[in-house]
């Protein structure tokens, strides 16, 4: 399982539908109010007839798959290809080996991240209409499935052990079927993993498929935004801002020669031109934190800062400042702040070095947790008081009912008469009118309240928990 030759790989495989349509959001954290991924477009069947294609991803209980989950999924495909050449849908691995392929460190964060990724991949479901090509039927079909069926994770996977416990993942049969029939393409996994921005990675997978046979590819801008699952695509100007950094990174990686926008009437398109594959730069991926190191180093590394700089920042400025700035940085990312659009890692580093103040409206995680706990305590206290009041009400009502049942008819009539005399003129008029009409309503309710008040005053006055002010209204 730990053959060093495995690490010197360049190419892996990628399922074509999952390169064409998004199954994960191109971000590290899901934006607010994003409950599903949906792509809709008009395509054409083999006879040239238009068909409406739709691709919808529904979330697991942990939410929709994210950029890191897509990274894990591709790593698992790579292992499946190595182990079985797609003859079996079960892949076995040690987590340490998978981490080495993905360039992750071996700290606790990595194990937690992997488990959460697998939960999202297993729990999220994809429903597609006329989006899967059936080789046998030579037509598009509709399907519903998840990406993986089950997984087993063992923490005891030390590579020095004679027989390490092997974790496993079982791919869904729909996905595995597409592997088995060859509905896959080659993917430069090293180049993919060397890209820093999630949008760059998604564009790379899509364009690598589209540019496989031709050096250029053109697509309508808003359609492309849907294909990469951009959540902020209300206006073309927003989409262009999101793509700007990705285009720059893909050009620096030697993958793209150019990305140019074309205006045609009321719509905008984008034309990509790819460089020859021999021009692609296989950059050395950033070194991850070593097992046992401060987890804050890995947190900085995963956000684009090299491990050397991460260690320096932690040494010079301390854990508290680094942790505080990481939290603010994640807040800005999740709110798509312009401050972190062009160079997120550079902004994070400078914010630590220069001790940037938090933005207006920012509330720290600790303060949010404190408020949450305070609100929970208040709700609990309110429930307890309501329960106590209800219990006292029921006890007093039982006492009142028992007293009323024990009274003679003459005593009952006397108390009812006193209650009538205590009612105001308006309530008394309502009571008499209701009685004449043979019904009960507001007037009778007021009369009953007065009766209960007299019973409490006369018979329960010596019981501390039963006072006139505690008498509930009877519906």
Q: Do residues 54 and 129 touch, judged by C-beta distance below 8 A?
A: yes
Assess whether pLDDT exceeds 60 at residue 86.
yes
DSSP 63: B
CA distance 325 to 335: 15
What DSSP assignment string belongs to 360-391?
A: TT---HHHHHHHHHHHHHHHHHHHHHHHHHHH
Query: What does the block give as tokens for 241?
Result: 């801002």
Distance CA 420, CA 405 (A): 20
CA distance 289 to 103: 10
Q: What is the pLDDT, as a whole number, of residue 24?
A: 92
Q: Which residue has the higher pLDDT, 147 or 141?
A: 147
- Token pair 């539908």: residue: 17
Residues 6+ apart with CB under 8 A from 378: none
Token digits of residue 314: 């932690």
Q: Which is more confident, 53 or 257?
A: 257
CA distances from 19 to 15, 16, 207, 242, 425 (A): 6, 5, 9, 19, 80
Q: How many CA atoms lie within 13 A of 29 on its CB side?
A: 13
- Answer whether residue 472 shows pLDDT above 50: no
Cα distances from 246 to residues 163, 197, 299, in angstroms, run 43, 7, 22
pLDDT of residue 461: 65
Do 464 and 395 meet the contact criterion of CB atoms below 8 Å apart? no
| Tokens of residue 101, six digits | 């392929």
CB-hemisphere CA count at 13 Å for 342? 1
Q: What is residue 367's predicted lDDT score, i.e. its pLDDT? A: 79
Under the banding of pLDDT at 50, 70 and 90, the label for residue 156 is low
Residue position matching structure tokens 């106590």: 388
Predicted confidence (pLDDT) per residue in 422-447, tens digit: 999 998 999 999 889 889 899 899 99
Q: In the prediction, which pLDDT does 42 show?
A: 75
* The token pair that represents 37 in the structure block: 């991924």
| 171 has pLDDT over 90 | yes
User: Please, what is the average pLDDT of the chain?
Assistant: 81
Please give the Cα distance from 94 to 12 (Å, whole number).
19
- What confidence score (pLDDT) does residue 362 get? 85
- Which SS3 state, helix, strand or coil, does residue 274 take? strand
Are residues 10 and 190 in contact, defined by beta-carbon separation less than 8 angstroms? yes
Percent above pLDDT 90 for the chain = 23
Residue of 157 and 213 predicted with greater confidence = 213
pLDDT in tens, 226-278: 888 888 777 888 889 889 989 999 999 899 999 999 998 888 999 999 888 77
Q: What's the CA gap between 85 and 304, in Å, rounded?
A: 33
Q: What is the pLDDT of residues 202-239, one digit of tens each?
A: 999 888 888 877 889 999 999 899 888 888 777 888 88
What pLDDT is attached to residue 45?
A: 66
As a whole number, mean pLDDT of residues 182-207 equals 86
User: Sign (positive/negative) of CA torsion 163, 164, 165, 169?
Assistant: negative
Q: Which residues contact 265 (CB under 8 A, 6 or more apart)?
A: none
Give the burial class of 392: count Cβ atoms within 10 A of its Cβ; 0-12 exposed, 13-18 middle, 19 or more buried.
middle
> Alpha-carbon distance 453 to 473, whole Å?
10
Would the pLDDT of 384 be above 60? yes
Alpha-carbon distance of 334 to 363, in angstroms, equals 14
∠ CA 365-367-372, nearest 5°, is: 95
What is the number of helices (H) and of strands (E) in the chain?
16, 12
> For tokens 């008029």, what's the residue?
429
């Amino acid at each position: 399982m730990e053959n060093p030759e495995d690490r010197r790989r360049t190419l892996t495989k990628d399922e074509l539908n999952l390169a064409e349509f998004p199954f994960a959001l191109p971000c590290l954290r899901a934006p607010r109010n994003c409950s599903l991924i949906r792509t809709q477009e008009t395509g054409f069947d083999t006879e040239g007839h238009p068909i409406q294609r739709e691709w919808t991803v529904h979330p697991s209980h942990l939410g929709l798959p994210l950029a890191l989950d897509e990274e894990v999924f591709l790593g698992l495909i790579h292992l499946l290809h190595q182990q079985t050449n797609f003859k079996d849908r079960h892949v076995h691995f040690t987590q340490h080996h998978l981490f080495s392929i993905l360039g992750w460190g071996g700290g606790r964060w990595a194990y937690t991240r992997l488990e959460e990724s697998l939960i999202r991949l297993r729990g999220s479901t994809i429903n597609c209409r006329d989006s899967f090509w059936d080789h046998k039927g030579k037509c598009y079909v509709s399907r519903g499935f998840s990406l993986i069926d089950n997984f087993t994770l063992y923490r005891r996977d030390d590579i020095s052990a004679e027989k390490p416990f092997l974790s496993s993942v079982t791919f869904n049969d729909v996905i595995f079927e597409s592997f088995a029939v060859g509905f896959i393409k080659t993917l430069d996994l090293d180049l993919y993993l060397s890209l820093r921005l999630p949008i760059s990675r998604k564009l790379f997978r899509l364009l690598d498929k589209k540019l496989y046979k031709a050096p250029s590819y053109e697509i309508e801008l808003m359609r492309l935004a849907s294909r990469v699952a951009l959540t902020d695509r209300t206006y073309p100007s927003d989409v262009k801002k999101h793509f700007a950094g990705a285009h720059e990174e893909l050009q620096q990686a030697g993958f793209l020669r150019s990305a140019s926008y074309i205006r045609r009437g009321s719509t905008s398109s984008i034309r990509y031109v790819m460089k020859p594959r021999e021009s692609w730069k296989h950059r050395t991926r950033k070194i991850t934190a070593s097992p046992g190191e401060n987890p804050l180093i890995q947190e900085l590394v995963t956000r684009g800062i090299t491990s050397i700089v991460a260690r320096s920042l932690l040494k010079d400025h301390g854990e508290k400042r680094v942790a505080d700035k990481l939290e603010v940085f994640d807040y800005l990312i999740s709110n798509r702040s312009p401050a972190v659009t062009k160079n997120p890692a550079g902004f994070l580093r400078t914010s630590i070095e220069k001790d940037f103040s938090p933005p207006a409206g920012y509330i720290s995680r600790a303060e949010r947790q404190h408020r949450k706990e305070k609100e929970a305590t208040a709700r609990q206290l309110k429930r307890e008081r309501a329960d106590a009041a209800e219990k006292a009400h029921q006890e007093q009502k039982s006492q009142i009912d028992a007293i009323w049942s024990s009274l003679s008819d003459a005593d009952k009539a006397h108390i009812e008469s006193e209650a009538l005399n205590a009612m105001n003129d308006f309530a008394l008029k309502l009571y008499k009118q209701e009685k004449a009409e043979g019904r009960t309503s507001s007037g009778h309710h007021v009369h009953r309240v007065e009766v209960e008040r007299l019973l409490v005053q006369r018979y329960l006055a010596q019981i501390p928990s039963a006072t006139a002010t505690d008498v509930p209204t009877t519906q």
